[in-house]
Amino acid sequence: MDKLVIEGGIPLHGDIAVSGAKNAALPILCAALLTSDPLIVHNVPHLRDVTTMLNLLAQMGVSVSLDESEDMELRASNLTQPVAPYELVKTMRAVVLVLGPLIARCGEARVSLPGGCAIGLRPVDQHIKGLQAMGATIEMEHGYMLARANRLKGARICMDLVTVTGTENLMMAATLAEGTTAIENAAREPEVVDLADCLTAMGARIHGAGTDVITIEGVNRLHGARHRVMPDRIETGTFLVAAAATGGEVRVTGARSGILDAVLEKLRETGAQLESGPDWIRLSANGALNAVSVRTAPYPAFPTDMQAQFMALNSVACGTAMVTETIFENRFMHVQELRRLGADIEVEGNTAVVRGVPRLEGATVMATDLRASASLVIAGLMAQGVTTVERVYHLDRGYERIEEKLSRLGARIRRARS
Ligand code: EPU
């Protein structure tokens, strides 16, 4: 198992290019299941989660190839096995995104029910409820969801809560349904819009993506298309927080500032300076940062996927910050590890009270999930001495070559074997 060894205390400086968004790429790869024509996807990030999804699609009979410019071609002309086995679902819950496309295209699917997860229970009841409203029958058998439908029928679906992959699953399923589907209380995340853009390029008729009501007029078939995956807003935010936390100056290129408003606003509150152009965001910080309270909520509010990184930044800021997590019930696993580096954090229910300390000190810490690992890397970049972050495979799920990117910004960070 790999670990990252970080010598902290060096302000980050320079330009860094952001990769394609993991949480847009995963559903878009699943959209390939909806047509027998080739779907060509540009800007797919090299991540463990993407590899997991590609392995699953290949097992189902999708052919996957890469050309010299790393464009990915997926062709689901012969779907032999509409099954997502437990072995894959347990490693990555986003695998559930194959459910909607498989029922819509094949009329059946056998997808393992995800178990518990490090950050929360994360049930899939809303995915199931929506597909049932469209006429699918879903039975549970030996831990698997067995879904069947002759042809899905358009329906009005009101989601009990805002779910990103739930919205995406139902939107994909509805593209091939008979009649019109309305998804109410839909997720408004930019990744939902990116998926809708890809589906539209494939011939789907979708209106309202990016609002809380998405309407999909079903069509008889979808065709091949080309799509470029949007830039990763969470990777962008992570680099900007790392720049602020180390008192550096970093320009993230290939980024979109318009989809990061809540995060950029909080970074401004720290006292950092921000500037942005059409495809870049620059942050500069020198000296002490103000503590900033954040409360996670669905888009366009502050994203849960940036909560842990702000916790790291707040741990050395001036003052006390309240960090409230409203999306996942167990997303404070990084608190114990940040404490090992000297942070003063107390958890009361779903709020962490972070009292800024003058400095963190390097230690060995353990990553528990993807964004928790990102917060530990940021803490390591700020800490005095050497920090070792173990279980880096969590980080590899969502950050492309993070140590190479950070090294280019001047960080002393290297990967080693545990
Ligand atoms: N929920 C239910 N029932 C459902 C679905 C969701 O109760 O049927 C609950 C969840 O338990 C959670 C809340 O609703 O409490 C929101 O979960 P959501 O379904 O929106 O999360 P997700 O779709 O499973 C995606 C991202 C996550 C990100 C969340 C929230 C992907 C592949 N994953 O997960 O990304 O945190 O939305 O924005 O898009 C990450 O990248 O680190 C990550 C965890």
**Residue 1: how many CB atoms within 10 A of its CB?**
8
Ligand 1: atom nearest CA of 27 is 32
Distance of CA 164 from the midpoint of ligand 1 (Å): 6
What is the torsion angle, in degrees rounded to the nearest 10, for the CA atoms of residue 179, residue 182, residue 186 and residue 191? 40
Q: What is the pLDDT of residue 116?
A: 62
Distance of CA 268 from the midpoint of ligand 1 (Å): 27
Residue with the smallest CA separation from ligand 1 atom 40 is: 305
Active site residue 117: yes
Alpha helices (H) in 47-163, listed in sequence order: 48-60, 86-89, 99-106, 125-133
**Residue 81: how many CB atoms within 10 A of its CB?**
12
Beta pairing partners, 15:
251
Q: For the whole prediction, is pTM greater than 0.85? A: yes
Angle at 103 between CA 97 and CA 104, to 5 degrees: 95
* Nearby residues of 388 by Cβ (< 8 Å), 6 or more positions away: 3, 4, 5, 6, 362, 363, 364, 365
Alpha helices (H) in 202-343, listed in sequence order: 233-246, 261-269, 307-314, 333-340
Q: What is the pLDDT of residue 271?
A: 97
Mean pLDDT, consecutive 10-residue stretches, the chain (418 aa), reads 95 98 98 98 95 95 89 95 90 93 96 78 91 97 94 98 98 98 98 98 98 98 98 98 98 96 98 97 93 98 98 98 95 96 97 98 94 97 97 93 96 94
Ligand 1: atom nearest CA of 299 is 38
What would the two tokens of residue 115 be?
Answer: 């178990």
Cis status of the peptide bond prior to 300, with omega within 30 of 0? yes
